[in-house]
Chains A and B, each alone.
Chain A
Amino acid sequence: MTVETAVLSPAAEKLAERIESSPVAGRARVADLDLPTIEVGPKEWVELARFLRDDPGCQYDLFLDLCGVDNLRRRGPAPASRFEAVIHLHSLSRNEHARVRVVLPDHPSETPSLPSVESIWPAADWFEREAYDLYGFDFPGHPNLHRILCHDAFVGHALRKDYAPGQRWFYAEEDLRVPEWAKETDERAGHFETQTISIGPSHPATHGIIHLIARLDGEKIVRAETIIGYLHRCFEKMAEKHHWNQVIPYTDRLNYVSAMNNGVGYVRTVEKMLGIEVPDRGRLVRTILSEFSRIMDHCVCIGANLVDIGALTNFVYLYQNRENIYDLIEACCGARLTVSYVRVGGLAIDVPDDFVPRSRRLLETIPEFLDDVEKLVNNNRIVRNRLSGTGIVSREQAIAWGLTGPMLRASGVAYDVRRARPYDFYDKFDWDIPIARDGDNFSRYLVRMEEMRQSLKIIRQALDVFPAKGPVNSDDWHVVLPPKDAVYHDMESLIYHFKLVMEGIRVPAGERYEWVEGGNGELGYYAVSDGRGGPYRLKVRPPCFPAMAAFEKMVVGGTISDAVATLGTLNVIAGELDR
């Protein structure tokens, strides 16, 4: 299944030692892939999970991702079984990523099953529901195991390899699964009867399409459940049907507010699998545009949030930043929003000649708009009343719920993958991780505002060292399309071009988890290749997925108007949430 190296890396060796002293010693195997990888069966999973979280030598407290893999059509050596569940974890204190592979034995008559670890990492809740929905895994012990992405009249499990990608099912309004608690009336609340209301999926405050069912006692929310999946556009199934480079436009439409970051994360994964290097100039362009995209992302998040609580002017100020950055991006790649600018091995085309002066001009205009917003907002009585002390997430809750990005940093944890697990040039630049300690909505606003200024600082340093000339693409013609001029005049280049377009890049068999800091947290890509021209399996670790899962816990006890303010600060982007 995977090529194992004989000598373990120090991290994997240390993990193997710890596992030897655990309750599952002898029943778990540690392999050294791109990350230390532990392989277990479903019976050992809960014991191992508890050990990984609590053992002082492991302390994997941040649950990043859980996904299924179906080995039915996998080429190469026969895998141990058809289904496996792959879990990615992070230890904040030790700054280590790790992977656990739970191999689910084949039983022709039984559904593949592994115990739920929702009680160990609450963040696992929605990820397990997703694996149930798309792969049909059973999770005994899960409190609410229902479909999450596909609609409730769906038949079958869409990401299984024997499910046809275009097979749709008819769905009508009455098929919607309403939670059981929402159907009963609850009259315990004294002389008031509680009422259940439905907010969304088409509602101005839900930013895209999120459906909240809430039980109210007066104006206070006593119980809530979020229904998502209204924008499930089958990204992962589509990725399996395309070549590696053809997936890039799909990644743009995950977090469409900061499309550049998604593409960079994806191609980084593929480049690591191929083992190729991108020239410094190309990587700097990616860094600069990613940081501009982060500013755009935060601008929309803060602007829309302030609109929701009635401060309309700020939206216009912040949105003008976006328009200005769009001009730069349009000059680079021709598109405004969905850029498709990166390619495996570099960029689609070189940047325009006036890239640096254009970027420098933006560095001057953006802070002016940010200053305007800060003047309007920071000491505004209404904004402070609405945002301070609402939507509070404590440090422990943030970690348990698997939050990353500004959400986690606003709760006092200085975890940023750009610093913790640096990529490109982030370890060479001088910048700070802004954190806040209160964990409320206003903290998240402050963290985002400061992050924009830090992004500007990074861009300024990147522009200082930006080489005026030089290649942006790798010169490995097995991966990157040769220059068009060479294709027209040179037989060899024509053949490379033909093979790349018709068959795609040949990525060696194996798997890889890579990350970037997206607009709203750690954006991870887990890719599996079996040597063909496209991904065998591609899983996105969407940063807003755990945040949305936490929403129904955060709003309980607050009023509806608090819930609206809180939803705005989560920065949930439906394209990434539902994929």
Chain B
Amino acid sequence: MALFSKKSSLPAHPPAGATGEGDFLVTKLEEMVGWARKNSLWPFPFATACCGIEFMSVAAAHYDIARFGSEVVRFSPRQADLLIVAGTVTDKMAPVLRKIYDQMPEPKWVISMGVCASSGGFYRAYHVTQGIDEIIPVDVYVPGCPPTPEELIFAILELQKKIASGEMSRDSRSARFAAERLE
């Protein structure tokens, strides 16, 4: 079963002779949670430019991200746990992106789709943020201008591995904000 990682010393299957009713499954809580999280990502498409059109392709009938459990596209950051930044982020848009990221509840992940979001791309210019990692932490970078739908799907699969392993990208700034608010 996919629930168990290879390094786990716990049995990977129910004990022999299990009949079904009243049986139990042994696993680690964090693996169970990771498995549930990775298969129900709710993406917030922060679609600003051309990559947004390719994101539409991924969501439409032909490529269909529903196959990977992430088709519930939410336009409210408070209901989403995956931020897909699809397209160029300009300096004028940067505070908006930061605000949306801060509004998302933990745990949250970020995919930077396309070279503009990852590094500014070929817009080395006076109004373009040179990569969204200037302002928010990123889990998976997808190259391409724009990336093909297959590449974005691959990024989602990579992210699922990361989520299943329980690894989190920490953002010192949002952690500090949270701490200040608690005080």
Interface residues of A (CB under 8 A from B): 149-151, 154, 158, 163-173, 201-204, 208-209, 229-234, 237-238, 249-250, 253, 256-257, 300, 315-316, 319-320, 322-323, 326, 336-338, 574-575
Contact = CB atoms under 8 A, between A and B. Distances in A.
A208 B50 CA distance: 9
B127 A172 contact: no
Nearest to B149: A336
Given A202-B46, A233-B125, A238-B125, A171 B57 contact: no
6 contacts: A151-B90, A166-B124, A169-B91, A233-B123, A249-B122, A323-B60
Contact of B60 (A158, A230, A256, A319): A319
Given A151-B92, A165-B124, A233-B49, 14 more contacts: A150-B92, A158-B126, A165-B126, A169-B126, A171-B92, A173-B99, A202-B100, A230-B90, A230-B92, A230-B93, A319-B56, A337-B50, A338-B50, A575-B49
Contact of A319 (B57, B75, B93, B122): B57
B50 A253 contact: yes
Contacts of B122: 238, 249-250
Contacts of A322: 57
Contacts of A202: 46, 96, 100
B107 interface: no
A575 B50 contact: yes
Contacts of A232: 90, 92, 127
Given A208-B52, A231-B93, A168 B126 contact: yes
B155 interface: no
A574 B92 contact: no
Interface of B is mostly: loop
Q: Which of B61, B62, B90, B126 has the most CB of A within 10 A?
A: B126
A401 B28 CA distance: 65
B74 to A, nearest CB: 10
Nearest to A255: B50
B49 A208 contact: yes
Given A168-B127, A201-B93, A233-B128, A574 B61 contact: no
Given A171-B95, A316-B61, A323-B62, A233 B53 contact: no
Interface of B: 46-50, 52-54, 56-57, 60-62, 75, 87-88, 90-96, 99-100, 116, 122-128, 145-146, 148
Given A150-B127, A158-B126, A338-B145, A231 B60 contact: no
Contacts of B60: 315-316, 319-320, 323
B126 A237 contact: yes
B3 to A, nearest CB: 34
A300 B53 contact: yes
Contacts of B148: 336
Contacts of A336: 54, 57, 148
A30 B85 CA distance: 51
Contact of A167 (B48, B99, B126): B126
A96 to B, nearest CB: 35
Contacts of A168: 91, 126-128
B75 A209 contact: no
B45 to A, nearest CB: 9
A362 to B, nearest CB: 15
Contacts of A575: 49-50
